Amino acid sequence: MSGFSGVIPPIVSPLLAADQIDAPAVSRIVQHLISGGVSGLFVLGTTGEGPSLTPQMRAEMIELTCAAAAGQVPVLVGVTETCLAASIALATHASRCHAAAIVAAAPFYFDVSQQALESWFDALATASPLPLMLYNMPSCVGIVLDPEIVDSLSQHPNIIGIKDSGGDMAYFESLCGRHRERSDFKIFMGPEERLAEAVILGAAGGVCGGANFLPHVYTSLYKAATRGDHAGINAQKLLIRHIFESVYYDDGGQMKLIPGLKQAMHEIGLCRPLVAPPLSLVTLQHAARIRAALPQLLETCPL
């Protein structure tokens, strides 16, 4: 498991209704991603709307994704819960489906100390049949994992790395500096627009939501960063900026990443644009802007 690297997209959860997974769409998306050169798949993350899905839907997403991947790439499963037993149960189900690892952010309801969080993650890693990757996601859970706690947890034999989505590059650089020489604990970047900088700092890769739509953009960016190809980096970052402007941001300049991403995927035949509550569909104007941007995006990075 210490060999994880590259682009591991947080796969979207395609829906037929708010309480129903679109099974054929899962297979289409998985094959689209694998064809785009990704190194793994992350199920039930933020982009996958994990917290908004019913327990049955979460279990089904794990089953469908693992079956569609069929061992071609490893599958990582988000098990973030406010109940430790529920996280362990989801990890056990993921193991039965032949997933490769689990990913967990901090429990987010009670205000607890960093020491309590360390005990939580230690207990989860000890009970889990799969290796655990920590997930620093303060914008969603309201907690930043202290680097010292990360250092301590990194010594656990069943904790293999951390995905950092905090957006604080000083924090991220500190993580990389502390663990740069280790092969048994990997650092992954969450914000996709910072993938190249992260790899240059020593990260193993990135968890890039936009790869659901145009995987080649992100796998090409990763490869360019690993070989120090600044022209290649700049070319792919221009495409990512265009994706942000046309797909992620609405007409009022508000970030609508998941609805915009699903709308773009709908336009190229991968899934319906439906999102689970409390998220809502993009506006008609935003959908039209996404549609208008597609020819240029697809010309520079064909499917």
pLDDT, one tens digit per residue, over 72-108 is 999 999 999 999 999 999 999 999 999 999 999 999 8
Domain locations in the chain?
Answer: 6-214
Helix 114-127 and helix 84-96, axial crossing angle in degrees, nearest 10: 30
Q: Give the CATH class of 6-214.
A: alpha beta
Q: What is the pLDDT of residues 52-67, one digit of tens each?
A: 999 999 999 999 999 9
Question: In sequence order, which ranges of 142-248 are alpha helices (DSSP H)?
Answer: 147-153, 169-179, 195-201, 215-226, 230-243
Residues 6+ apart with CB under 8 A from 257: 47, 209, 248
The pTM assigned to this predicted structure is 0.95
Burial of 5 (0-12, 13-18, 19+ CB in 10 A): middle
Helix (H) or strand (E) holding 34: helix 23-35
Helix 230-243 and helix 215-226, axial crossing angle in degrees, nearest 10: 150
Q: What is the pLDDT of residues 201-248, one digit of tens each?
A: 999 999 999 999 999 999 999 999 999 999 999 999 999 999 999 999
What's the pLDDT score for residue 180? 81
Q: Which residues pair with 189 in a beta bridge?
A: 164, 206
300: pLDDT strictly greater than 80: no
Q: Which residue has the tokens 């829906």?
A: 15
